[in-house]
Each structure stands twice: as C-alpha cells, then as structure tokens.
Structure 1
Amino acid sequence: MHVSSSFAFPSLASIALIFLASASQAAPVKVFILCGQSNMEGKGAIKHLEQLLADPATAKTYQHLRDDNGWVERDDVFIQYNDDRGRGKLGLGYGTPTNRFGPELEFGHVVGNALDEKVLIIKCAWGGRALAVRFRPPSSGKGDYTQRNRQTKEIVPLPEETYGEAYRDTIRIVQKTLANIDQIVPDYNQKEGYQLSGFVFFQGFNDVIDQKKVDEYGQNLENLVRDVRKDLDAPKLPFVIGELGQQGVEPEKRHAEKHFAFRKMQEDVSKLPEFKGNVAFVKTSPYIVSDGESFDGGYHYYGRADTFFHIGHAFGEAMLKLNQP
C-alpha cells in the first residue's frame, strides 16, 4: 500500500489546538446574579467617574472604562437589569438613576477579563427592601411586621404577599432571563447552554435600622443562601455576601456597636461548615471615602464612583476564587 508523500497526519499539538479552539467557542455562558437593594442598584456618580479619569493621579485605574470612541461596552459580557431597566452589552447606564452605576460595572470587567467564556450578569435590585420582609426567603416563613394604615392611621399587620416579594421577583427574573438568554447573548449556543456560576447579595440597610430585623438577620441570610440554591437548582452555587459598610471602617460611635455586630453576623454566615469554600464575605467598608467630595449626601457610600468601582472589583475577585476548580 502506497501513501502519498503529500499527505501528512496532523500533529498532536495541532489536534490539541483545534480542540481547545472549538471548546472555547462552544463553552457554556457563565451566569452571575447580582442582587440587593439601593447600593446594588448603583449610586456611583458618572460625573465623579469623569473627574477620576481627568485626574492624572487616578486616571490609570479607570482607563479601561473609556476609549477614543467613548464609554466602553464589552463584547463578551452582557447584562439584564430587572424586568425593565435595560439589557445589552455591559457598560454604563445600568444604575439607578441612569447617570449612576453600581458594582456590576467593574465586577463584569474582572470576571470578563479572567474567563474565556461569555458572561451574563442578571441584576435584580430595588431600593428600600429589607431581608426580613420583601427579600424574606421561603424557609423563614411569614414575618410579623406591621405598618400604619394611611386612612385610619391604625397599626395593622403587613399584607401576607409583602413577605418575600423581592425574593420571588429575583427568582422569576433569573428564570425568565435564562429562558430567553438567546435574546441577550449574541450567537448563544443552545447545545452548550449556560452555567449558573455565582450569586452576589449586597443589602442590609433597611434591616440594620430596625433591631427586630437585626435580631433575625443571620438566620434569614442563612435561609436565603439555601433557598436561592434550591429554587435555582444549583446546590453549590458560589455565593458572595457584601458587607454593609456604609459607616466605613470606623462607624460613628453612636452606631458602631450595632454596625460591627451586624457585619459580624453577615461574616458568620459565610463561616458555617456547610458553606465552607462556596460562600464568601467581602468587606466594603475599606472603600468608603468619608473625607472627600460627596455625590449623594451622606447616603449610598456618598455616591462616589471610586467606592462603587472598588466594591465591584472586590466582588469579582471573590467570585473568581469561589469558581476555582
């Protein structure tokens, strides 16, 4: 049998390169859920971000967010924000109001730079939502909180449907988005599908101001992790808990004890044996700049772009660690 000298079997190296190329092109989309209240909605001022980019002392840190054509939109990271607050390529414009941005911006750059796969961020955030009430997970059962009736001025129980409203909306939005993922992620490969790869929860202000809600926060947070994993059918879904760090590393004396205790409660959940290696607590208080210009009065981390940028970066780094094999 004669074999033509013009034919050459592919080398093992060539076969490996072909396999790796096809695998990278057909890998499942990595899906991350960012959930919480107003700080997750995003209050970082774009006006401040422009100032940071104009200052030679800080411009280098943020230069990847803008190029000669304007604000960068990534071709490999996509976002769905609630039902009606926007979808598309990750860039600016996914905060509330739209002249703000949240942790999603730098989070998306961190995970997008590190991962070969396309990334989809599903952001579910609403201001003024307590974990004890609207984010209340099913395993916590019905709460027993009250409100004042506007007409009679009497104190009456909260309507039963109020409990868990934001939790249910989060699960619904995630499921609806994933059912229509091909409308958000270009060239979505149905065969390869997607992989739920992480959940970030950044919330707490509406609980810390009410001692009754503080008292049950730890148990509610535990239940949130378990219930989200159950309802999304992702038993080991990596979970990042963002510290309620509004008061900074050293809170005001009159608030210090309560805030330190609350932060410890959040961190303690991440240390439970069942959550070892798949739940992380991320400090946000170190990124507070309390002696600089404020873009949101005394609220929402002063609305500073540098603070929200660094918080998003920290969330992204923590999530990548949880996703390591």
Structure 2
Amino acid sequence: MKWFSALLLGICFLTGIEAIDAAPVKVFVLCGQSNMEGKGAIKHLEQLLADPNTAEAYKHLRDENGWVERDDVWIKYNDDRGQGKLAPGFATPTNRFGPELGFGNVVGDAFDEKVLIIKCAWGGRALAVEFRPPSSGVGDYTRRNRETKEMEPLPKEDYGVAYRDTIRIVKETLANIDQVVPDYDKSQGYELSGFVFFQGFNDIIDQKKTDEYGANLANLVRDVRKDLDAPNLPFVIGELGQQGVEPEKRYAEKHFAFRKSQEDVSKLPEFVGTVRYVKTSPYVISDGESFDGGYHYYGRADSFYNFGKAFGEAMVDMTKKQ
C-alpha cells in the first residue's frame, strides 16, 4: 500500500508539472512613446550594481556570465527591434532598457505560466494624433507645408497610425507565437492578460491635445479591448510623472491637471477594478546624476526599473483578482 501511495503521489506530481507546462502563455502588451521605448541607461544599472548601497535591488539581473536572460519570459519589440529572452537591451537605443525589465521580472516571478511581452513603442507620438483610437474619430490638427510654409490639415491617415500598428503587431505576433516563445505548443494556447499604456509627453506640450486627453484615453481602453477581443482586459495607465512629485512651479498646474485626467479615466464606473492608474512620479530622482540630460526621467536606470516594477505589481494584483 505504501508503494502504491508513493506511485500515486508521483503520478499526481508529474501531472501537476504537465498541467503547468500546458497552461496558456500569459501575454502582456506594453505600449507608448519614447519612455516606453526605454531610456534607462545600462551604464547606470552597472553603477547601481557596483554600489553596495543599491546592489541588492538589482543583483538578480546579472550573474557571473553577464546579464541574466529569463527562461520563462520572452519579449517581442515592434516589427524589427528584436525578440528573445527578457534581459536589458530591448530598447531604443540598445544600450538602454525600458519598463519591460522591471515589469517582466515581477510578472515572471508571480506566475507559473510562461510570459510573453509584446512591446509597441515609438518616440514622439501623441494620443491625439498617432495613437488616436478609432472611437475618437479624425482630429482637426494642422501641420506646416514644407514647400509653401502654409498651415494645412494633417492627412487623415496620420490619425491612429501608431494605434493601428500596435493592434497589427499584437495580432501578427500572436498568430506566429511559436516563432517568439520556444517549444510553444498549440494545445496550450495563450491568454491575453494585460495592457500597459505609458505615454503623454507629446500631448502635455500642446494645450489642445491636453484638453482632449482624458476622452481619448478612455476611448483607447475601449477600442483596444474591442479590437483585441478582450472585453475585460486588465489595463494599466502609467502616470506621466516627468519632473517628479513636485514639478517646477511654473509647470506644476499643467502637470497635476494632466495626471488627474489620466487618473480620472481609471475611476470611470465601467473601468473600476479592471483599469489601474499607476504613479511614476515617486520614482523620479531629479537631484541625482542624469544619463539623458533633462529628458526621459534623466535616463536613470533606477527610475525605469521601478516604473516597470510598479506596473507589474498593479497588473498582477488586477489579474489575480479577476
């Protein structure tokens, strides 16, 4: 009987392992403009690892062989910016990293299933124009004609180009997921598990775009869910936390109003529990060394890693509550 019990226990254990291996791949989409592209300096990350006061928080990212490549988290970045096991370098330029690094480590640790991150990010894109969701219709912005120097309406095809590329890249990646996730088994399938949107700089610098940001952001959530056929897809809105918790006085009102428009979307009755506004401003260090001038959160590795970590923790919390 003892032998039989041990055999039965062994069968159950192996079955459990097979069940985990056969579980759907959890897929997360990270979307935005230059800060989502990633401007965290790997040079700064190396400094943090060399400093005994900060090394503990980042020691899991590197071993005696170099940067650790996770065996359970993969990433696909745009059409042509690279794919593979998660590690520093999936950014623009490649000597940087973005929120995907902290995010991927958090979700990778939180779930037994394999994880795929699809990152869709392009610098200098506004929600009012390039990321404009279909439900917002065509905008009425203008540009200067290079030849005549006269102002003219933006071409209709400019509106939503980054939004359409995002949806396309996600669908194409999922249709060919076996080319990104090694040993992918069609019988296990995949599960679209979350979407992170970290964007806003090209809207906050234009009052007209700022004024319509909240409405466009709400439409973005609705349209992404519709176009990806995921009606309750957990959605993280990353705060535009440039200048940190206390922005310069001359810009403070604008920044706080913009952040409120982002947070208000997460409080809409239809989004309660499935959309989370995550602050980034507490992780901005404005009085330390800068690795990108005054731009992109000073290019600091600690800031970008903590942005991703915060996004990941919020996503895990929402996902596990569903």
Normalised-by-shorter TM-score class? over 0.9
Tell which structure's C-alpha radius of gyration is larger.
1
> 1:17, CA displacement in angstroms?
2.5
Cα distance change of structure 1 residues 216 and 26 upon mapping to structure 2, 3 Å threshold: same
Match of 1:217 in 2: 213
Deviation, structure 1 residue 214: 0.7
Which residue in 2 is equivalent to 1:153? Answer: 149
Aligned to 2:113: 117
Match of 1:282 in 2: 278
The letter of the residue matching 2:50 is A
Instruction: Compute the displacement of 1:134 (Å).
Output: 0.2
Unaligned runs of 5+ in 2: none
Q: Distance in 2 between matches of 1:233 and 1:12?
A: 41
- Return the alpha-carbon distance in structure 2 between the equivalents of residues 294 and 302 of structure 1: 5
Q: Distance in 2 between matches of 1:239 and 1:317?
A: 12
Deviations 1:7-36 (A, max 9, x none): 837776555434322210100000000000
CA–CA separation in structure 1 for the residues paired with 2:225 and 2:247: 33
TM-score (norm 1): 0.96
Equivalent in the alignment of 1:143: 139
Length, aligned pairs only: 321
Q: Give runs of aligned pairs for residues 215-294 of structure 1, distance below 5 A.
A: 215-294=211-290
Deviations 1:77-129 (A, max 9, x none): 00000000000111011011011100001110110011100000000000000
- Alpha-carbon distance in 2 for matches of 1:6, 1:303: 61
In the alignment, the residues of structure 2 paired with residue 157 and residue 239 of structure 1 have an alpha-carbon distance, to the nearest angstrom, of 33
Which residue of structure 1 lines up, in the alignment, with residue 67 of structure 2? 71
Aligned identity (percent) is: 76
Residue in structure 2 matching 1:203, options 199, 203, 224: 199
2:293 to 274, 291, 297: 297
Measure how far apart 1:239 and its partner are: 0.2
Residue 189 of structure 1 and its aligned partner are, at CA, apart by 1.3
Work out the CA distance in 2 between the residues paired with 1:9 and 1:41: 54
Q: Deviations over 1:132-151 (max 9, x none)?
A: 00000000000000000000
User: Could you say which residue in structure 2 is the equivalent of 1:55?
Assistant: 51
- Describe the superposition over 1:49-104 as per-residue Cα deviations: whole angstroms up to 9, x where unpaired: 01000011101110000000000101110000000000011101101101110000
Tell me the distance in 2 between the aligned counterparts of 1:189 and 1:281: 34
- Equivalent in 36, 42, 66 of residue 40 of structure 1: 36
Corresponding residue number in structure 2 for 1:83 = 79
Q: Please report how far the alpha carbon of residue 247 of structure 1 lies from its aligned counterpart in structure 2 after TM superposition.
A: 1.5
- Residue 109 of structure 2 aligns with an amino acid whose one-letter code is N
Q: Residue type matched to 1:117 in 2? A: E
